[in-house]
Amino acid sequence: GLFYTKEQAEQTMEEKGYKFVEDSGRGYRRVVPSPLPINIVELDSIETLIKHGTLVIAAGGGGIPVVKEEGNYKGVDAVIDKDKTSALLAAHLKSDQLIILTAVDYVYINYGKDNQEALGEVTVDEMNQHIADG
């Protein structure tokens, strides 16, 4: 989302009731809830395209969060995590693999702490242990 100055954020909070947080010295950003994705509205269309040999790129932005009210979809102020949406899509499609690419150099354990450690090549068992360790 956009970055706001402190003054812009305060004015918008007062006028619209939005919530803002300061973001790492870069300015203020509006914050909204981030619910877990529970369904993908376009799933039937995605499945049809795949069945007909189309390479489908989906869930990259996490999607537009909606709720269904009185038979109609209505947008809501929220953001949906694209990785969780991708995992949900992969599960619905019974995919053999889900590959998530990122622009960071490593996966870290203890991220942002004094004992932060970059992980290089790891086994599935090692990753499962890191998950179990929290």
With 90 as the cut, is the pLDDT of residue 9 above it?
yes
- 67 and 106 together in one domain: no
Tell me the backbone φ, ψ of residue 108, rounded to 5 degrees. -120, 150
Query: 15: helix, coil or strand?
Result: helix
Which residue, chain included where needed, has tokens 């390479």? Answer: 55
- 93 and 37 together in one domain: yes
In the prediction, which pLDDT does 101 show?
82
- 38 and 96 together in one domain: yes
Give the pLDDT confidence of 33-85 residue by residue, as tens digits.
Answer: 999 999 999 999 999 999 999 999 899 877 789 999 999 999 999 999 999 99
- 91 and 58 together in one domain: yes
Which residue, chain included where needed, has tokens 């694209």? Answer: 82
- 6 and 43 together in one domain: no
- 55 and 94 together in one domain: yes
- 15 and 46 together in one domain: no
Cα–Cα dist 100/84, whole Å: 10
**Angle at the Cα of 24 (from 78 to 65), degrees rounded to 5?**
10
The stretch 113-120 carries a mean pLDDT of 93
- 51 and 88 together in one domain: yes
Q: What is the pTM of this model?
A: 0.69
Cα–Cα dist 39/42, whole Å: 9
In the prediction, which pLDDT does 64 show?
86
